[in-house]
Amino acid sequence: MILSSFFKAIGQMGDPRFRRVLFLGITLTIALLAGFYALFLTVMNEAVDGTMVLPVIGEVTWIGDLLGWGSLFLMLFLSTFLMVPVASAITSLFLDEVASAVEAKHFPHLPDVKGVPFYESLRDTINFLGILIGANIVAILLYVMLPFAAIFIFWALNGFLLGREYFQIAAMRRLGREGAKQARKEHFGMIWLAGCLMAVPLTIPLLNLFIPILGAATFTHLFRQTQMRRPSD
């Protein structure tokens, strides 16, 4: 079910409507990564009196390296960690559009629905970001205690959190908040596994630019498949 949903999402990349959302999503993802990167350099340079030395990258001086080639490699490295909060941040902005495109192609019989109000999506996203950041800060203790298992802990933790969020937002369009929570509980294992399969490529530079939008499409398919056996939508 998970792989078939993912391949259906990939197969729709040629759809003009889907391509537009994918382009906007990648553009926003790069902008958010650049913003996080600029903030990172600002904080680090202030902490070390304006200059710091990083392995492989060498000496980093804020403005010069922000615009230099060395910054590209540093931003790609940081993206392995930053893409998880970035992926969560863009779901509220694009999931409705992605879901509408998926449903128009694969589930044309479904009636139109009103999207989740933007302020509700924004509130949910801010709350989720707080949980995501807090959970990962706490998990640092586990990373230190179990360094060889750190990447697997990272994937499992963020896979659980991302899967929960993506499925919740996809389901809320059709079932409302309480219905989405119930559906999430019924398919807990599948959602966690799908989230882990999403978290893994989010740690791969460049490939991770495509994952948030493809993840939104994949979870839309997954939600629809969980509803296929129900008597009505």
Neighbours of 4 (CB within 10 A): 12
Confidence of residue 92 (pLDDT cuts 50, 70, 90): low
Considering only residues 51 and 25, tell me which one the structure prediction assigns the higher pLDDT: 25
For range 65-74, the mean pLDDT: 56
Beta strands in the chain (DSSP E): 51-54, 58-61
pLDDT (mean) for 119-140: 81
Residue 116 within any structural domain of the chain: yes
What value does the mean pLDDT take over residues 97-109? 87
CB 218 within 8 A of CB 179: no
Write down the pLDDT at residue 55. Answer: 52
Greater pLDDT, 121 or 136: 136
User: Over the stretch 27-55, which tens digit does the pLDDT of each residue have?
Assistant: 887 787 777 777 766 766 665 555 555 55
| Structural domain span for residue 11 | 2-227
User: What is the chain's mean pLDDT, rounded?
Assistant: 79
Q: Decide if pLDDT at 56 tops 60.
A: no
Strand partners, 95: none
The domain total for the chain is: 1
pLDDT band for position 155 (cuts 50, 70, 90) = very high
Q: Is 0.75 topped by the overall pTM?
A: yes
> 231, 185 in Cβ contact below 8 A?
no
117 domain residue, yes or no: yes
Is 206 part of a structural domain of the chain?
yes
Q: Is residue 51 situated within a structural domain?
A: yes
Measured distance CA(29)–CA(210) in Å, rounded: 9
Q: Which of the pair, 148 or 74, is modelled with greater confidence?
A: 148
Residue 119 pairs in a beta bridge with: none
Say if 17 falls within a structural domain: yes
